[in-house]
């Protein structure tokens, strides 16, 4: 049974990037102490930690040190060692299980998991070492591990282009993309928000609540997300991304953590994904969450000055991560109430 961890206790966070930073900010508002482990002393979450451990994410000894000083441990991203976590969760209070990490760290395992739950996916071919496979369609080839924001992806149509340890996903006609940001506490599963997402160059560009999906499509996405949470040992926020193609809702991938599209809930929802996650991992009741119409724009390094200038003219909620701006690096986001289109910026 998940433990109840009350304010003034210590929450350990593996990862000090922007997600860890916003988790720490939300937890400190509630009165928790924060310990963060990250390889970079300059990570943007460090200033919100009471204890900081500078260490690599595969440093078992340092991760165990974090566990020893924390009353509960969480992580901000899934590319940490599932093997290390599996060993430590038998001794320490880690409520996002190694089981879900093993599934979500490998695209083939993730697709197979969805299939076992009768959740529709795109057609795919799993490539291990043998690349001598005839293909007659165009596929999106993805590395099976460690891909994000379009990294490790390539469109192919010839067998000579196939690489080892990849998954070939059939290209589909895309109507829209949505994500379901959900949370599981020890009492129930709640939907924090259903979000429609638009990407540019494989990086999240804009999100909005509510979506333009039909009620039936949203209900399918919610049903599939709840089925996933019901079938894994996991507490906290979990996000599932879906494609909608020719009206059909198709599973894309699972993020076992707070999620970029969920940043919209800092304004859209009666409780943000960060507050909901902290409550859930601490054994508290999250309760029902409602949303209002909101638009999010992701801020990349090259666009920082545009948004800093925009906020002097247009009412909105600017969230900067205090990261050094570089091209295509996520340095912040901004939320606006209503369905907002930023004129010329959208056509850039």
Same domain, 73 and 156: no
Between vectors from CA 321 to CA 153 and to CA 67, what angle results, nearest 5°? 85
128 labelled as ligand-binding? Answer: no
Q: In this predicted model, what pLDDT tens digit does every residue of 250-274 receive, in sequence order?
A: 999 999 999 999 999 999 999 999 9
Tell me the CATH number at 221. 3.30.470.20
Beta bridge partners of residue 255, listed in sequence order: 239
Asked if the model's pLDDT at residue 202 lies above 90, the reply is no
Contact assessment for residue 298 and residue 283, using Cβ atoms and an 8 Å cutoff: no
170 labelled as ligand-binding? Answer: yes
With a CB cutoff of 8 Å and minimum separation 6, the contacts of 344 are none
Same domain, 193 and 324: yes
Same domain, 86 and 196: no
3 labelled as ligand-binding? Answer: no
What phi, psi does 61 have (nearest 5°)? -60, -40
How many Cβ atoms are within 10 Å of 209's Cβ, its own excluded?
23
Tell me the CATH number at 80. 3.40.50.20
252 labelled as ligand-binding? Answer: yes
Contact assessment for residue 240 and residue 119, using Cβ atoms and an 8 Å cutoff: no
Asked if the model's pLDDT at residue 280 lies above 70, the reply is yes
Residue 114 falls inside a structural domain: no
**How many domains does one find in the chain?**
3
Same domain, 18 and 131: no
109 labelled as ligand-binding? Answer: no
Same domain, 312 and 213: yes
With a CB cutoff of 8 Å and minimum separation 6, the contacts of 107 are 142, 143, 144, 145, 147, 167, 253
Cα 140 from chain centre? 21
253 labelled as ligand-binding? Answer: yes
Q: In this predicted model, what pLDDT tens digit does every residue of 20-38 receive, in sequence order?
A: 999 999 999 999 999 999 9
Same domain, 276 and 308: yes
Same domain, 300 and 186: yes
132: domain range? 123-170
171 labelled as ligand-binding? Answer: yes
Residue 39 falls inside a structural domain: yes
151 labelled as ligand-binding? Answer: yes
Average pLDDT over residues 280-307: 97
226 labelled as ligand-binding? Answer: no
Same domain, 296 and 195: yes
Contact assessment for residue 342 and residue 200, using Cβ atoms and an 8 Å cutoff: no
Answer positive or negative: Cα dihedral of 279, 38, 80, 322.
positive
Q: In this predicted model, what pLDDT tens digit does every residue of 137-179 receive, in sequence order?
A: 889 999 988 655 556 688 998 888 999 999 999 989 999 999 9
148 labelled as ligand-binding? Answer: yes
199 labelled as ligand-binding? Answer: yes
172 labelled as ligand-binding? Answer: yes
Residue 2 falls inside a structural domain: no
End-of-domain residue from the set 94, 114, 144: 94
Give the span between the Cα atoms of 346 and 91, in whole angstroms. 50
């Amino acid at each position: 049974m998940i433990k109840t961890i009350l304010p003034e206790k210590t929450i350990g966070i593996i990862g000090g990037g922007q997600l860890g930073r916003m988790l720490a900010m939300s937890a400190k508002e509630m009165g928790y102490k924060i310990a963060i482990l990250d390889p970079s002393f300059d990570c943007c979450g460090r200033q919100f930690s009471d204890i900081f451990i500078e260490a690599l994410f595969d440093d078992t000894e340092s991760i165990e040190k974090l566990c020893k000083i924390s009353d509960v441990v969480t992580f901000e991203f899934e590319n940490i060692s599932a093997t290390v976590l599996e060993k430590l969760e038998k001794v320490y209070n880690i409520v996002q299980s190694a089981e879900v990490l093993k599934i979500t760290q490998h695209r083939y395992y993730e697709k197979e998991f969805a299939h076992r739950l009768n959740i529709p996916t795109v057609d795919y071919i799993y490539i291990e070492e043998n690349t001598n496979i005839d293909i007659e369609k165009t596929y999106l080839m993805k590395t099976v591990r460690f891909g994000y924001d379009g990294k490790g992806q390539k469109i192919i149509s010839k067998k000579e282009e196939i690489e080892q340890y990849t998954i070939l996903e059939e290209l589909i006609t895309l109507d829209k993309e949505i994500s379901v940001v959900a949370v599981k506490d020890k009492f129930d599963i709640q939907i924090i928000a259903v979000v429609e997402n638009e990407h540019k160059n494989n990086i999240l560009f804009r999100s909005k609540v509510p979506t333009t999906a039909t009620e039936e499509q949203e209900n399918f996405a919610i049903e599939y997300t709840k089925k996933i949470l019901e079938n894994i040992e996991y507490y906290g926020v979990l996000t599932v991304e879906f494609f909608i193609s020719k009206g059909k809702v198709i599973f894309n991938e699972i993020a076992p953590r707070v999620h970029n599209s969920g940043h919209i809930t800092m304004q859209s929802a009666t409780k943000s994904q960060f507050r909901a996650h902290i409550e859930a991992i601490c054994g508290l009741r999250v309760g029902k969450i409602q949303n209002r119409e909101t638009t999010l724009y992701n801020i990349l390094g090259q666009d920082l000055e545009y948004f800093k200038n925009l906020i002097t003219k247009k009412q909105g909620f600017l969230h900067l991560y205090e990261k050094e701006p570089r091209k295509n690096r996520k340095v912040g986001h901004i939320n606006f109430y209503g369905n907002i289109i930023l004129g010329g910026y959208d056509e850039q």
